[in-house]
Each structure stands twice: as C-alpha cells, then as structure tokens.
Amino acid sequence: MISPKIKVCGMRDADNIRELVKLTPDYIGFIFYEKSPRYVGRKIPAEILDAIPENIKKVGVFVNATEREMKNMITQNSLNVVQLHGNESPEMCQIIRMAGVQVIKAFPVDENFDFHSIRRYRENCDFYLFDTKTPQYGGSGKQFDWTLLDKHDFTKPVFLSGGIGLEDAEKIINLSNKDIKVVDINSRFELEPGVKDIEKVKKFIDIIRKK
C-alpha cells in the first residue's frame, strides 16, 4: 500500500485556492500554457501567492516555452517546481533545473509508449510524470492503463496523472509500483475550468491519507 503526496493542478481562483490550502495539498499547479482553459496568465496575482504557505510547493506547468520565458516566470511567481509538459529536451530540463527549481518531466502514455525512451532524462530531472496521451497537453479527464507502469523500475519518483477521480482513491493506494510518489488531480474535480470542488478534493485527500 502506498501513501502518495497530492498535487492539485490547474488552479487560478483566489477564493478557491484559499479553501484548497486548508486541505494542505503538497503541491499546487499553475498552468502557463496559453491554449489551456486553465491558463493562469503570465503573473499569478499577489493575493493568490500570499495565500499559499511555504510548506505547499508552487508548480509552474509549461509546454514548449523558451528558456527565457520560464526563467522569468520562475522569478516573477516564486515557483518551487517546473513541470515540462511538451517536447522539451533533457538539456532544457537541466538548464531549468539549474535555475534553482525542481523539474518534473511529463510523458504522454498510451499502450505503445516506449518507457525506455525516458532514460535519457534520468540525470536531468527530479521527477517523471505520466499522463494520458491525447491530442492536447493534459487536462483530458482520461486515464491510461496504469498496469503499464508495473513492468518498470523507474529509479525516479513518479507523478501519476490523467483522468484521476474520487472513485480512484482506493485503487491508487493499492497500486504496486513503489515509484509512484505523487498523485496529480485536476479536471475531474472541477466545477468549471480552474475552479475545484473543494469538498470532493477533501474526500479524495482524506482517503489517500487515511484520515
């Protein structure tokens, strides 16, 4: 049985975030990809940043952004972690990591995904994230076959993402792959894009943490 940490992604509403931080998720994700319906803008409002305590890490999610853009966003928004959700190279991961943040490299997974292809990122990121492969970059509400992960030892902490709902909580804590350290929830906990159902999130967190 695993007890993963919790990342709640796609946040942007100040009042919603104030309620969320009472649940003490481990990570809060902000999407800096303009085509996302959860796009937070280039600068997170100060009222949002001020509402997040230091024990909750702020994650900036980027898709094929430039080095300059990401470094500016890291500084402007006091980010602790950067999630690279596009086709970023291992070299880009390392450059961003040297800016003083942890790096999550995301990979879109389907039944044909070559898990051996991620080995070249091993030395250049802190975490792998596995999401469902879709025409878009995340936020699809769809799951991939999690049993695909059971065949691999990643030697790297893993974020599990993609279509995770409240009904999946018990299944997650009983997953066999011990590299899964964080569960990433988003669209299936929303009232609308960027606004979470706090009571639903609370129920999920309570099950994961066995409260």
To the query of whether residue 125 is one of the catalytic residues in this protein, the response is no
Residue 138's Cβ-side half-sphere holds a number of Cα atoms within 13 Å equal to 33
pLDDT values of the chain reduced to their tens digit, one per residue, 211 residues: 668 999 999 999 999 999 999 999 999 999 999 999 999 999 999 999 999 999 999 999 999 999 999 999 999 999 999 999 999 999 999 999 999 999 999 999 999 999 999 999 999 999 999 999 876 655 556 899 999 998 888 989 999 999 999 999 999 998 888 899 999 999 999 999 999 999 999 999 999 998 6
Catalytic residue among 93, 125, 131, 184: 131
Tell me the pTM: 0.94
- What is the predicted pLDDT for the residue at 3? 85
**9, 93, 125, 184: the active-site residue:** 9
pLDDT score for 176 = 84
Average pLDDT, rounded, for the chain:
94
User: Measuring CA to CA, how many Å separate 20 from each of 43, 120, 124?
Assistant: 20, 36, 31
The yes-or-no answer on residue 93 being catalytic is: no
Tell me if residue 136 falls in helix, strand or coil: coil
**What is the extent of the structural domain holding 89?**
5-208
Q: How many CA atoms lie within 13 A of 34 on its CB side?
A: 4
CB 139 within 8 A of CB 36: yes
Dihedral over alpha carbons 41, 157, 129, 79 (to 10 degrees): 10
Q: Does an H or E element contain 103, and which?
A: strand 102-109
For residue 136, the model assigns a pLDDT of 65
Q: Look at the chain and report how many structural domains it folds into.
A: 1
Give the CATH number of the domain where residue 123 resides: 3.20.20.70
